[in-house]
């Protein structure tokens, strides 16, 4: 399994990091009374997203890494928050995008999912 490149930032920018729980529910409206629900699958990935500041060179490393994993294969990544743990993740539904912050500085927005371990 591939690992998040050490030459890329190892943490997300704090202000816009968003970690959510995957929704594994299948809910069915009833004619009356409460909604009926059950689990859909035995496990569900937890989505998270955020941005990282990168140089143009780091952005090119990210593009190469994306191609190496085909945009879909799982890889290991340090857990956001500097706990020392490692997550198994995949890129999410949206490909990454970037915004120029001036000069050779970019904000790269990432959509990811954490897989059950």
How many residues does this entry show for the chain? 117
- List the domains of the chain with CATH numbers: 2-114 (2.40.30)
Residues 6+ apart with CB under 8 A from 40: 24, 25, 26
Distances (CA, A) of 42 to 39, 47, 54, 112: 7, 16, 37, 20
Summarised one tens digit per residue, pLDDT across range 20-48 is 766 666 667 788 878 776 666 667 788 89
Model confidence pLDDT, tens digit, residues 57-114? 999 999 999 999 999 999 999 988 767 889 999 999 999 999 999 999 999 999 999 9
What is the rounded CA–CA span in Å between residue 26 and residue 32?
18
pTM of the model: 0.79
């Amino acid at each position: 399994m591939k690992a998040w490149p050490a030459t890329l930032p190892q943490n997300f920018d704090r202000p816009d990091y968003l970690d959510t729980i995957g929704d594994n529910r299948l809910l069915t409206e009833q004619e009356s009374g409460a909604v009926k629900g059950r689990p859909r699958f035995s496990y569900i990935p937890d989505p998270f997203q955020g941005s990282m500041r990168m140089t143009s060179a780091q952005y090119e490393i990210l593009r190469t890494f994306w191609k190496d994993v085909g945009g879909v294969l799982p890889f290991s990544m340090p857990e956001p928050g500097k706990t020392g743990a490692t997550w198994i993740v995949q890129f999410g539904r949206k490909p990454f995008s970037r915004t120029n912050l001036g000069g050779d500085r970019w904000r790269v927005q990432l959509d990811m999912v954490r897989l059950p371990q």
